[in-house]
Amino acid sequence: MVFAAVIGLSAGAKSTGLRGALSVSFVGSALPFLSYAAISGIVGEKGLGAVVWSFSLMGVSRRRAALSLLVAALALGALLGLLSAEIVAVLGHTAMDPPLGRDLVTTAWVGALGGAAYASLFLLGSSFWKGAGRGVLLAMDWVLGGSGFFALLLPHGHLRSLFGGEAAFEVSQRVSSLSLITLTVLMGAWAVRRATRAT
Amino acid sequence: MIITFDRVVARGVARKGEVTPQLRAVTLGFAEGITVIVGARVSGGPLVLDLISGRVRPTQGAVRVLGMPAGDNELAKDIAYVPIAAELLAGLTVMECLRMSLRMRSSAPRDPGAALERLGVSALALRRTETLTPGEHRVVLLSAALATDARIVLMEEPCNWFDTRALTKIMEALRSIASEGRAVVLATQSALDATRIGGRALRALGGMIEEGLPEQPFAGVRVTTEKRRELLEALGELPADATVTTTPHDVTITASDANALLRYVGSVLAKAGIDVTAFEKIEATTTSASTTPTSTPTSTSTSTPTSTSTSTTTPTSTSTPTSTSTSTSPSTPPSS
């Protein structure tokens, strides 16, 4: 379903241009929902703590279980981000856009970084309120992540900037890419810490 | 000692409408073999298991397991825990779960199917975990404990969720694990279960853990209500050894597993919405006529029952049915 949406975006790109399709529609809806679905698939309905607990009942240490889940989530998020961004880039490429080869390289790393950042964000959300925090962070990213100060703390604004759209809180693309990496690491570490702590 | 508690103060996680379980400056040790802790959940029995597993951290004092602080990541492979609400990883078959457990906990390759067979649940091997009942989740976790080298086995309410035939195999499995020099620590609300299991008995009361079983095990329950006929209809099928005595004022029911009976009658009263004047435990040993009714699950009023029962048992002021929590009890009548 989400891939169908990505393909739909690509078709729309013919009228809005590839930059518009990637920085507005892809970052605004397709990538967050794709990552959300992926993390929901990994963590399930009951949240990160419950999955880590289930692993520990099988003899896996909670730290090892949480780190494994983080690595799996980041890898899956990055892969899905990369693939979906490339699909949009290939199908939505027009004559007005830069050469396709250059576009593919750029969208690949930005898509992968964005997918990983969203995976980390939603994994952190999964550690709150028995998994319900995931939906809260999705809504926050959607409502607050596009502009203002919160754009610095959530992936939406940074990704839009890296795909050629409006800058997040007027920071450069270089700062945005570094911010995304930092956010991914910090949110992932926080998620692991929450999932492994004792009551 | 395999496990030591040194002046441990801890607070557990409270369930809805329940007092927070606590331990108050508990010092004790667990060696190889079976130890059963008897007491209501809020008294701290299951909290001891949570502390050993590292799921809960003490606020004061220290819990050491195999010489390491409880909760150390190195201990995960050494502790097999079967909580009351166990949940296996979703998306896997039972066999895959057991293989994972074996990979984590055993140095030598073993057949995971043998443990299932020993517990009489080989048919579960290819079932997906999300299709299992809560009791089956627990049996699979116990199979994992049986099949692996986990040096410590923790189990909450070892007799809950299981029928008589399964229970016999589970008891055999626990004794077999203990005979291999491993520590088996069990927590139960039923003194009868503790007697049935054997081994060292501890009693949890008000956050203290002491040696020995709780005194004065009770024999049954007495319900004082206007709606005796409705109660008798709602009770449905009782255990085979249960006896029911009715008087113009109350209904007295006794059974060998009085704890399970107490939980069952409490849940029946709540489900059927029967107002009661008193709901009390019946002592098994004394014959005095003194009564001290306790609060009821459906009514706030209490009074001294004027029982004319011919039973030789008497009520005692003990915990209410809500304190023994129906959430952990089977929804069917207890098997004898």
Tell me if A64 and B76 make a contact (CB, 8 A cut-off).
Answer: yes
Structure tokens at B162: 């299981």
Of B50, B73, B101, the CB nearest to A63: B73
* Kind plus residue range of the DSSP H or E element containing A85: helix A62-92
Work out the number of other CB atoms within 10 angstroms of the CB of residue A14. Answer: 13
By the CB < 8 Å criterion, does B111 face chain A? no
Of B71, B77, B148, the CB nearest to A198: B71
Report chain B residues whose CB lies below 8 A from the CB of A63: 73
Tell me if B104 and A57 make a contact (CB, 8 A cut-off).
Answer: no
| d(CA A41, nearest CA chain B) in Å | 10
Question: What is the model's pLDDT at position A9?
Answer: 60
By the CB < 8 Å criterion, does B47 face chain A? no
Mean pLDDT taken over chain A: 83
Q: Pairing mode, if any, of strands B200-205 and B314-316?
A: unpaired
Residue B284, pLDDT > 70, answer no
Q: Give the Cα separation of A163 and A81 in Å (integer).
A: 13
Residue B34, pLDDT > 80, answer yes
Residue B331, pLDDT > 60, answer no
Strands (E), B39-180: 60-65, 68-69, 79-82, 152-156
Q: Which among A58, A62, A64, A197 is the top mutation candidate for probing chain B, defined by the most B β-carbons within 10 Å of its own β-carbon? A: A58
Tell me if A199 and B55 make a contact (CB, 8 A cut-off).
Answer: yes
Residue B293, pLDDT > 90, answer no
Which residue on chain B is closest to A195 by alpha carbon? B55
Tell me if B54 and A198 make a contact (CB, 8 A cut-off).
Answer: yes
Q: Give the Cα separation of B132 and B206 in Å (integer).
A: 35
By the CB < 8 Å criterion, does B271 face chain A? no
Q: Please write the tens of the pLDDT for every residue from A130-155.
A: 888 999 999 888 888 777 888 888 89
DSSP state of B161: T
Q: Please write the tens of the pLDDT for every residue from B99-109.
A: 888 887 766 66
| d(CA B324, nearest CA chain A) in Å | 23
Task: Indicate the pLDDT class of residue B318, thresholds 50, 70 and 90.
Answer: very low
Question: What is the model's pLDDT at position A124?
Answer: 94
Question: What is the model's pLDDT at position B52?
Answer: 93
Which residue on chain B is closest to A58 by alpha carbon? B101
| d(CA B36, nearest CA chain A) in Å | 20
Q: What is the pTM of this model?
A: 0.68
Q: Please write the tens of the pLDDT for every residue from B85-97.
A: 878 888 889 988 8
The better pLDDT of the pair B305, A133 is held by A133
**Structure ipTM over 0.90, yes or no:** no
Q: How far is CA B144 from CA A55, B71, B76, B77, B120, in A?
A: 13, 20, 13, 11, 14
| d(CA A76, nearest CA chain B) in Å | 17
Of A55, A63, A199, the CB nearest to B89: A55
Of A51, A55, A198, the CB nearest to B56: A198
Residue B333, pLDDT > 50, answer no
Structure tokens at B334: 């207890």
Structure tokens at B335: 């098997």
Q: Give the Cα separation of A109 and B257 in Å (integer).
A: 65
Please list the alpha-helical segments (H only) found in B158-288.
164-179, 191-197, 228-235, 258-272
Question: What is the model's pLDDT at position B301?
Answer: 32
CB interface of B with A, residues 120-159, below 8 Å: 141, 144, 148, 150
Read off φ and ψ for residue A182, nearest 5 degrees: -60, -45
Tell me if A56 and B76 make a contact (CB, 8 A cut-off).
Answer: yes
Tell me if A54 and B88 make a contact (CB, 8 A cut-off).
Answer: yes
